[in-house]
Chains A and B, each alone.
Chain A
Amino acid sequence: MRLSNSRTALISIVLLAPAATAQSPKKLPDGQPNMQGTYTRAGVKGLEANPPFNPIDPGEKNPLSVSNREDGLGPYPRIFGQGGNVLRGGQQRVERRLGIVFPEDRKLPWRPDEDAKRRQFLLEMNPAKDLKHVELNSRCALPGLFEGEDGNNPYTILQPPGKVVIVYDYNHTSREIDLNRREHFGKNIRLFMGDSLGHWEGSTLVVDTTNFNGHVAYSREIPYLSEDLHTIERFTMVDENTIEYEVTIDDPKLFTGPWKVAGSFSRVAQGVESLEFACAEGSQTLQNIFGLPAATR
């Protein structure tokens, strides 16, 4: 592994130990900077400058939807504040770079025909014309890197040797970032969460992800990205409670160039745990949109 050279690690510990600041996170036995813990995420689904009509989640107007139950058995107790900042309390409010940061005017470099196609696609999502036009999150599938309920649902980072695993509270999702493998899988392996290879550059985890399946959304306004999506994410520990996040989104099928989104992860109060977020098990959304298929009538 690139950064596990024990001599380098030892030297840096010796040199930095007296000045042990927040910028030098503690190291794990395999040499990885320790960013383990539970965080909430903000900013990762930024709005572009000229967004199209935001389609309404059919679930929100649907009395049987799991997201709208009033019997107290909703999918998640509402104990988290927006952005996760409420929980720790007492800390200074810090302005961070959030949302689309490149291009600075937030005008995404859409290929004009692809922009037209997605605007038409959005119009056909409510009511959904067919299964393909149902918002992916309403189908309880893995959400990809961007969807996953910013603000309310915690993320837990685990770092066993040679890996970084991010466990989303949202829909029992998890993703693994492999720190040892150097080559992505072949083109026939297509994944909702992509194939993520990472390495550490100081206290920044850099993650290169490809092999997406063409189903995952960026946001309500960008309901799909293509199979050619290639992301480079940078997770930087800026203090013991904060990870700054930046992702470069390169999808040459839809855009003429890459664009960038910034966000942050804030550590939640000690003792906060993820709860089970079952999704498909209680969802009536598809039945309500389309009616019952013959096989289940």
Chain B
Amino acid sequence: MRTCRAGPSVQRRLMRKFQFRIPLQLFPFVFASLWFFTASASAQSPAALPRTADGKPNLNGIWQVLNTAAWDIQDHGGELGIPPGLGVVEGGEIPYQSQALAKKEQNRAKRVTADPAEANCFLPGVPRATYMPYPFEIVQTSDNIAIRYEFAHALRMIPVNGSKHAEGLPSTWMGDSRGHWEGDTLVVDVANFNDETWFDHAGNFHSDALHVVERYTMTSPNHILYEATIEDSKVFTRPWKMSMPLYRHVDKNAKLLEYECVFYLQEERYKNAPFK
């Protein structure tokens, strides 16, 4: 892994230069200004990010959101088993067509049994996989980036080799992902979805016309700004966007384990089987 040392070496050079010229009582101010200089430099300079051998930001690692979007991507109060939270939708409102809004309300009313991910352990779709309350791991190589999600061992393979979306295939739960780099941002175009997944436990939904563009921008070695633009001409009146930070698991020995949702659900549903 290549990490940039511009910050510290600049600091060392400046310290050498000023070593014998600054009165002792000014040292706190000098250090404060050096700290400000290096801190702001590292916040603004993309060069401060960890990088792979091919020069891309190194996204390898285990990441997770610290929000409640899996329950509701919009502002919501707490309920039993549902933590309150501020929304992740830019501007707050989701631009539903009027019939679609009614369907969202129907979904919400039956969410305890109908939520495909939370209640049935199905693949959560994109972008919901990102903000399920479970970690996921980015596995980055130069031609392919895999994302392994702990929830239901969901998985995406994202070719970053210039290939186009596959055509003529059955629609999918997790979509067909194609990635490319725009500067230091990984942009993933996701299409070929089915209409089975929801955006959250509140019943926000989409059709099989869903098209998602994700942007993964590393803002520090331990943070990624995640943005997802949602487009679905059958359900929404215009494209809309959600955004949230992803946090790196920095724990020693952090590792993705297994949350085998459907296995646990079967243990519960079929514990007294056979029923006939």
Interface residues of A (CB under 8 A from B): 28-30, 36, 73, 77, 130-131, 139-142, 156, 158-161, 163, 165, 167, 171-174, 176, 178, 181, 185, 189, 191-193, 273-276, 278, 280-281, 286, 289-296
Contact = CB atoms under 8 A, between A and B. Distances in A.
Nearest to B148: A174
B146 A167 contact: yes
Contacts of B258: 142, 191-193
Contacts of A163: 60, 139
Contact of B144 (A30, A158, A185): A158
Interface of B: 1, 52-53, 60, 121-123, 137, 139-141, 143-144, 146, 148, 152-155, 157, 159, 163, 166, 169-170, 172-174, 196, 253, 255-258, 260, 262-263, 266-267, 269-276
State the main secondary structure of chain A at its contact with B: loop
Contacts of A295: 269
A280 B121 contact: yes
A185 B152 CA distance: 21
B157 A293 contact: no
A158 B263 contact: no
A293 B263 contact: no
Nearest to A189: B257
Contacts of B141: 36, 158-160
Nearest to A30: B53
Contacts of A36: 141, 143
A173 B60 CA distance: 19
A-B interface, 3 closest residue pairs, ranked by CB to CB distance from nearest: A291-B276, A29-B53, A290-B273
A173 B172 CA distance: 16
Contact of B253 (A131, A167, A172, A181): A181
B196 A281 contact: yes
Contact of A167 (B1, B155, B174, B274): B155
Contacts of A131: 266-267, 270-271, 273
A172 B274 contact: no
B200 to A, nearest CB: 18
B151 to A, nearest CB: 12
26 contacts: A77-B169, A142-B153, A142-B260, A161-B1, A161-B60, A165-B139, A165-B148, A167-B157, A172-B155, A172-B174, A174-B146, A174-B153, A174-B155, A191-B257, A193-B258, A273-B157, A273-B163, A276-B173, A278-B172, A280-B152, A290-B273, A290-B274, A290-B275, A291-B274, A293-B270, A293-B275
